[in-house]
Amino acid sequence: MRVALGSDHAGFQLKEEIKRFLYDNHVDCGDFGVSSMEPADYPDIAGAVAEAVAQGKFDCGILVCGTGIGMAIAANKVPGIRAALCHDLFTARAAKEHNDANILALGGRVLSSQLACEIVETWLNAHFAGERHARRLEKIRSLEARYCCNGEEK
């Protein structure tokens, strides 16, 4: 599994903790920045990670900003991306099992590094349940096709 990581300045420290956790657990990851706590604009990082996931260069992505909200909003503008903001284990599991989320968004000012790593582990180990959720996911894809460039990048 290949995981794309990204953060802005507010999520930098937590991203580094998550990166260390992934490496310790032998998960291949690519770091899309940032590399310091210098101010950075989260849409730039979210866009880069989301595009890499949508293009199949990475299996999934993890984005961290202060709250996770901005990263999730920005990433979800990329066709094919289903970014989910999660702050607990239940939503992390449901994001993958019910919504087949391919990007996890986290809040660096909201979560401890221990809880964040537990959320990451739960999300990475969960699997899409299919069945009734597949029908709902197809409806999401239909909405995306209708309102988002017919699913194609312009």
Residue with tokens 């099992």: 97
Tokens of 116: 């964040």
Cα 114-119-122 angle, rounded to 5 deg: 125
What are the pLDDT tens digits along the chain (154 aa)?
Answer: 999 999 999 999 999 999 999 999 999 999 999 999 999 999 999 999 999 999 999 999 999 999 999 999 999 999 999 999 999 999 999 999 999 999 999 999 999 999 999 999 999 999 999 888 999 999 999 998 888 765 455 4
Per-residue pLDDT, 153? 52
Per-residue pLDDT, 150? 54
Cis peptide bond N-terminal to 34, omega within 30: yes
Per-residue pLDDT, 50? 99
Q: Is residue 6 part of a domain?
A: yes
Q: Is residue 31 part of a domain?
A: yes
Q: Is residue 148 part of a domain?
A: no
Phi and psi for 54 in degrees, rounded to 5? -60, -35
| Residues 97 and 131: beta-carbon distance below 8 Å | no
Domain total in the chain: 1
Position 82, amino acid: R
Q: Is residue 96 part of a domain?
A: yes
Nearest to 16 by CA among 117, 124, 121, 115: 117
Coil, strand or helix at 68: coil
Q: Is residue 150 part of a domain?
A: no
Domain that holds residue 55: 2-129
| Residues 121 and 86: beta-carbon distance below 8 Å | no
- CATH number at 36 reads 3.40.1400.10
* Enzyme catalytic residues: 65, 98
